A = this chain, B = another copy of it.
């Protein structure tokens, strides 16, 4: 774990100048003999290029940051799984930032772009505040936002279409004959929370169903709190016959609570989740879920960023990924699920 050889070390060993060493190492034209000596010396010394010095000179770090609220959330994880190989293939390392949904942390990540330790950033902000927009306007490196930013913001933008997504779910529930469809949402001041809340209201309207405040309950985006929200909702609206949950974790919480309350799924209450994570397929009953294309969004974001890094300035782009509904047992397609356990 010593100091490690530099091009100076090699130059001495090979009896040439550091310039020649650098040239050989970069494949620039050199005499055979020089090349041989340099490569031999480099090999003997176990030379490895210093990425930091190289970055300082070249002004490129070959690193890209990915910032999201929480690595534990399967939706972000799905993005990460797509982003990582795309960047790796292009020769970029991935720096991971977990902001714990703290706005100040997100701002700090944007600010830190000024430190130039990455060439670009992919961010999934939970909220987009004025502070975000101000930082984005003066960002010191290319940024791709997964989420929605106002038109004119100078960043590439990848959006889900949760409006259509919620619509798909509600159409499905309506077609199954459900009329008292509750919404279990996350905080309304988050991007997904606001979008899903508005979409729910709109989709009800399109179906000719009344919007009833009582049917909406707000918690956060996690299983335990989601379950609590469902419990509250069940107390208030006993004749509920379906639940639209703002993500799969909330939906799992809903299954917990419905079971505890003796409500059968889907016979008494049909449940739809959102994000179509791995958990949806593993749960019982398996969970119908609206896929918002997390993986596709991740890939699109990575590709937009790489394009920007390769081609420099250009007009900001907007990519919208279409959603689709994955129907499983929790909305009760007959025969969709066989019994798997033999618990009483």
Contacts and interface: CB of A to CB of B under 8 A. Distances in A.
Interface in A62-82: 63, 71-72, 77, 80-81
B1 A95 contact: no
Interface string A39-70: 00000001111111101100001010000000
Contacts of A71: 77, 80-81, 84
Nearest to A280: B282
A340 B265 contact: yes
A28 B296 CA distance: 49
Interface string A300-332: 000000000000010000000000000001100
A163 interface: no
A47 B260 CA distance: 57
A187 interface: no
Interface string A215-255: 00000000000000000000000000000000000001001
Interface stretch (A10-18, A113-121, A169-177): A113-121
Q: How many monomers of this chain does the complex have?
A: 2
Given A267-B342, A282-B279, A338-B259, A94 B93 contact: no
Interface stretch (A122-130, A133-141, A145-153, A195-203): A133-141
16 contacts: A1-B139, A4-B116, A50-B116, A52-B56, A63-B95, A71-B77, A93-B95, A95-B96, A259-B339, A265-B340, A268-B342, A278-B279, A283-B284, A329-B341, A329-B343, A338-B343
Interface of A: 1, 4, 46-53, 55-56, 61, 63, 71-72, 77, 80-81, 84-85, 88, 93-98, 111-112, 114-117, 138-142, 252, 255, 258-260, 264-268, 278-279, 282-285, 313, 329-330, 335-344
Given A63-B117, A260-B338, A283-B284, 16 more contacts: A1-B313, A48-B115, A49-B115, A50-B116, A71-B81, A71-B84, A88-B98, A259-B338, A259-B339, A264-B341, A282-B283, A284-B341, A330-B341, A336-B343, A338-B343, A339-B343
